[in-house]
């Protein structure tokens, strides 16, 4: 079996294996699920080791026709855009399960749903056929619905239904856009994704614009893009913290990844809608930052900060130049790691204090040294300080935006300052000397919890200090993508 199919089959085989394990064997269920996600991560690392960064073409290609008349096929492959997301998805799946020891109810169902969610996410990033991409996109909805609805907070039923309705509504527009392109004669170029890309560029300009708007709605719901973000705060707050790690760390990136694939199909429409994309991005940055600054609930603050950070990604995509697109790819990775570590420490804090309110934890960090390191570095990374990957990504996007729009990037700077404001406010509260008996009674991170957080923070620091490897991974693919806009 080819390596990508092997990687895709690992979480499915793991889920099937868990089905036959009795529910009472909780330790065995946890061990098998963690082993499966670790095996998927190792396989993704093998793909990375064999990947040629200088080759912009799709690598490790697999192609098996499914419907010759339609041109659809089981087509997998990776390039410089999908490989970083593949590594991120497998890493955060491991992190999510390691952070799931607080889950005690219906363990088998929970771990099966997480493995099926990983299967859907990996499929989205590896699919080289739009029909296959759409199937994997929809597959992620099923396990995520149950994960929120079954193991979420008090408002979990509303949150899960809200998420599914928003995402399915967006998927309808995506499907309509795909059907509009499929009405044209598709040249057989190896897969439906390539053929539809060729057909889309021959469409009338007005139709290209309408198709791009359909994709923007479909992918914009998942990113999310203002004003399609209504599902985000409730879903993030009510989902179990390990699932929030996947929801914010990976699921949001699926929308940005899909949009990156789309702009290469519709270059004329993208140029016409470039001002709209930039406006939505800048407004989303400032709006998300202001909403995050207003929150007293730590989980809601992190959720709204995701809206702001994904606005940065959209701005990078809207620049349509090398610096901006490279910054968008870097920001997707940076925010994936950052969101994971932020939701991790918020979830661990909630397990101990049963509260997510900032004012309930004054002066907590001076008494908990491991928590202090993890929380402080996470919030400093959220500010985009030099030394962290977020700084490199935001600088690239700022450079690309200044090349395109010049002094309009002052709005970008305002968004960065707002991010710094809510991060510093939180740090100030958690570090102040005033604290109560409840705070003094809290336990510090254990070795496993600290190790998981250290891996995520280490990734942000390591890639921030030495970003060349990550940038080299995507440079050739980004350069090839830009050729369609010349």
CA distances (Å), origin 458, targets 105, 337, 406, 464: 32, 10, 34, 9
Cβ density class 122-153: b for 16+ within 10 Å, e for less = bbbbbbbbbbbbbebbbbbbebbbbbbbbbbe
Per the model's pLDDT, the better-predicted residue between 440 and 322 turns out to be 322
**Residue 70 and residue 134 in contact, taking contact as beta carbons nearer than 8 Å:** no
- Per-residue tokens: 271: 């140029």
CA distance 195 to 69: 13
Does residue 198 carry a pLDDT above 70? no
CA distance 258 to 332: 12
**Residue 57 and residue 455 in contact, taking contact as beta carbons nearer than 8 Å:** no
- Tens of pLDDT, residue by residue over 465-481, are 888 888 888 888 888 88
CA distances (Å), origin 323, targets 280, 317, 320, 327, 399: 19, 10, 9, 6, 6
Nearest to 252 by CA among 369, 142, 144: 144
pLDDT band per the 50, 70, 90 thresholds, residue 285: confident
pLDDT band per the 50, 70, 90 thresholds, residue 190: very low
81 φ, ψ (degrees, to nearest 5): -90, -40
pLDDT reported for residue 35:
94
Per the model's pLDDT, the better-predicted residue between 73 and 29 turns out to be 29
pLDDT band per the 50, 70, 90 thresholds, residue 99: confident
Q: Supply angle C-alpha 137, 141, 146, rounded to 5.
A: 160
Q: Cβ neighbours of residue 436 under 8 Å, at least 6 residues apart? A: 362
CA distances (Å), origin 54, targets 80, 287, 395: 9, 39, 24
Nearest to 61 by CA among 19, 138, 104, 5: 5
CA distances (Å), origin 367, targets 361, 362, 434, 438, 447: 11, 11, 11, 12, 17
Cβ atoms within 10 A of the Cβ of 154, count? 9
Q: Cβ neighbours of residue 420 under 8 Å, at least 6 residues apart? A: 383, 384
Report the range out of 256-265, 405-414, 439-448 with the highest average pLDDT: 256-265
CA distance 320 to 400: 8
pLDDT reported for residue 44:
94
Residue 227 preceded by cis peptide, ω within 30: yes
- 222-236, 282-296, 321-335, 431-445: the lowest-pLDDT one: 431-445
- Per-residue tokens: 329: 């790819």
DSSP assignment, residue 357? B
Residue 324 preceded by cis peptide, ω within 30: no
pLDDT reported for residue 185:
56
> What integer is the mean pLDDT of 254-272?
87
DSSP assignment, residue 152? S
Cβ atoms within 10 A of the Cβ of 37, count? 25
> What integer is the mean pLDDT of 115-132?
90
Greatest Cα pair distance, the chain, in angstroms, is: 71
Cβ atoms within 10 A of the Cβ of 92, count? 27
Report the range out of 36-45, 171-180, 211-220 with the highest average pLDDT: 36-45
User: Nearest 10 degrees: CA dihedral of 144, 211, 276, 331?
Assistant: 40
Nearest to 310 by CA among 333, 344, 294: 333
Residue located via tokens 């740090």: 427
> What integer is the mean pLDDT of 19-42?
90
Residues in the chain, how many?
486
Average pLDDT of the residues of the chain: 84
- Hey, which residues does 63 pair with through a beta bridge? 75
pLDDT reported for residue 71:
61
Q: Model pTM greater than 0.85? A: yes
CA distance 380 to 384: 7
- 60-69, 142-151, 261-270, 369-378: the lowest-pLDDT one: 60-69
Does residue 352 carry a pLDDT above 70? yes
pLDDT band per the 50, 70, 90 thresholds, residue 385: confident
> What integer is the mean pLDDT of 292-303?
84
Does residue 368 carry a pLDDT above 90? no
**Residue 95 and residue 344 in contact, taking contact as beta carbons nearer than 8 Å:** yes
């Amino acid at each position: 079996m080819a390596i990508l199919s092997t990687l895709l089959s690992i979480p499915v085989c793991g889920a099937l294996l868990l089905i036959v394990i009795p529910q009472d064997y909780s330790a065995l269920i946890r061990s098998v699920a963690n082993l499966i996600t670790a095996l998927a991560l190792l396989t993704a690392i093998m793909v990375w080791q064999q990947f040629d960064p200088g080759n912009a073409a799709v690598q490790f290609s697999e192609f098996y026709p499914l419907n010759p008349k339609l041109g659809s096929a089981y087509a997998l492959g990776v390039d410089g855009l999908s490989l970083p997301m593949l590594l991120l998805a497998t890493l955060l799946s491991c992190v999510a399960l390691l952070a799931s020891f607080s889950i005690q109810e219906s363990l088998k169902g929970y771990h099966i749903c997480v493995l099926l969610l990983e299967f859907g996410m990996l499929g989205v990033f590896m699919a080289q056929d739009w029909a296959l991409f759409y199937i994997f996109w929809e597959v992620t909805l099923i396990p995520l619905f149950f994960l929120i609805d079954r193991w979420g907070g008090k408002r979990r039923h509303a949150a899960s239904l809200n998420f599914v309705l928003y995402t399915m509504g967006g998927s309808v527009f995506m499907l309509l856009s795909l059907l509009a392109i499929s009405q044209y004669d598709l040249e057989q170029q190896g897969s439906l994704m390539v053929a539809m890309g060729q057909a889309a560029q021959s469409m009338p300009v007005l139709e290209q614009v309408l198709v791009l708007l359909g994709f923007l709605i479909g992918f914009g719901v998942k990113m999310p893009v203002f004003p399609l973000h209504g599902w985000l705060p409730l879903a993030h707050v009510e989902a179990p913290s390990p699932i929030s790690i996947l929801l914010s760390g990976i699921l949001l990136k699926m929308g940005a990844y899909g949009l990156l694939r789309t702009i290469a199909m519709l270059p004329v429409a993208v140029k016409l809608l470039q001002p709209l994309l930039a406006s939505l991005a800048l407004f989303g940055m400032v709006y998300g930052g202001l909403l995050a600054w207003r929150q007293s609930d730590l989980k809601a603050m992190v959720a709204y900060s995701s809206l702001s950070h994904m606005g940065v990604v959209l701005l990078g995509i809207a620049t349509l130049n090398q610096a901006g697109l490279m910054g968008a790819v870097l920001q997707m990775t940076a925010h994936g790691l950052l969101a994971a570590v932020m939701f991790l420490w918020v979830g661990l804090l909630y397990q101990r204090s049963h509260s997510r309110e900032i004012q309930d934890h004054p002066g907590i960090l001076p008494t908990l040294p491991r928590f202090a390191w993890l929380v402080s570095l996470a919030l400093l990374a959220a500010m985009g300080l030099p030394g962290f990957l977020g700084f490199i990504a935001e600088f690239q996007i700022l450079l690309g935006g200044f090349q395109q729009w010049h002094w309009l990037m002052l709005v970008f700077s305002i968004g960065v300052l707002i991010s710094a404001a809510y991060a510093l406010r939180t740090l100030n509260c958690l570090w102040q000397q005033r604290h109560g008996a409840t705070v003094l009674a809290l336990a510090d991170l254990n070795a496993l919890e600290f190790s998981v957080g250290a891996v995520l923070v280490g990734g942000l620091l390591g890639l921030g200090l030495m970003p060349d490897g990550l940038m080299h991974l995507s440079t050739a693919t980004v350069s090839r993508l830009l050729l369609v806009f010349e």
